Amino acid sequence: MGRPTAGTILRMKKTDVKPKKKTPSLKNKIRNLERFLKKDTLPEDMRLAKEEELKELQRQTEDKQEEDKSREITLKYKKVRFFDRRRLMRSLKKLKRQLDAVASNEADNASEIEKEFQQAKEDMMYVYYYPKGERYINLFPEAKKPHSNEDLARQTTLKKAALKAFKKDADHTAFDQYCFNDDDAPVDDTKKVEKKRKVGKDGKPKRKEKRRKSNTERVNVVADMDDAVAGAGGEDDFFL
């Protein structure tokens, strides 16, 4: 029987790798502890320790469920909240330009623009400080689907809470960035060094062609590997 090829040796090595042991989930840990506590022969000190451990695991399970629920609600209303932010961002940028223009001209409508700017800023606070894990009530509902009185009352309460949280924060750098910096804006790559690409006769950059190995080359590589393995085996037999 001939010696195994390089591919066979590689497959044999992969089968020798032992799979990693799975860590038991919180649900399994709780079930095992509950079964363990049903024993009547447990010492009192051990029973108390295991009961405390069971309470801690149950608390971790409740926290995880709340976290999963909060994440699910956040993802559900992420798009609606994003549209509110983009709309307010455009309004704030427009009003900011108008404020800069009227400041130099000393126009009469400066106070009205300032009032609109402050209102848009407070609406952005509502979006920024909105509590996680709670159903999002959008600022710009459709005319066919107006908010209920309950939602409007809740929205007013959340706006007051957002304004209070804004005043409580000492540093407003993150909020200002949230108002005026668009995360989806293209990144400025002017400072990066661009690699020179070859230009063709038509003046357009040449596309780099990827060379694929043919079936003949692949067969030759496998054959060379098999010859190398066989050659190594031959030398070992010679010295033996």
Residue 201 lies in a domain: no
Assess whether 72 and 142 both reside in one domain: no
Q: Which of 81, 73, 115, 74 is nearest to 98 (CA)?
A: 115
pLDDT of 221 > 60? The answer is no
pLDDT, tens digit, 9 for 90 and up, residues 92-101 = 999 999 888 8
Can you read off the two tokens belonging to residue 190?
């002017």
pLDDT computed for residue 140 by the predictor: 93
Q: Are residues 138 and 157 in the same domain?
A: yes
Q: Model confidence over 202-213: pLDDT tens digits?
A: 666 666 665 665
* 171 occurs within a structural domain: yes
Q: Quick check: is 120 in a domain?
A: yes
Do 61 and 116 lie in one domain? The reply is no
User: Domain check: are 123 and 157 in the same one?
Assistant: yes
| Domain membership flag for residue 4 | no
Which two structure tokens, joined as six digits, stand for 151? 């939602």
CB atoms closer than 10 angstroms to residue 147:
14
Q: Verify that 123 and 152 share a domain, yes or no.
A: yes
Q: Which residue has the higher pLDDT, 23 or 62?
A: 62
pLDDT at 55 over 50: yes
3-state SS, residue 110: helix
**Would you say residue 189 has pLDDT above 70?**
no
236 has pLDDT over 90: no
Domain boundary among 76, 106, 140: 76
Q: Is pLDDT at 103 greater than 80 in this prediction?
A: no
Residues 113 and 177 reside in one and the same domain: yes
Tell which residue, 178, 156, 182, has the closest CA to residue 169: 178
**Do 99 and 156 reside in the same domain of the chain?**
yes
- The domain tally of the chain equals 2
Q: What is the pLDDT of residue 16?
A: 57
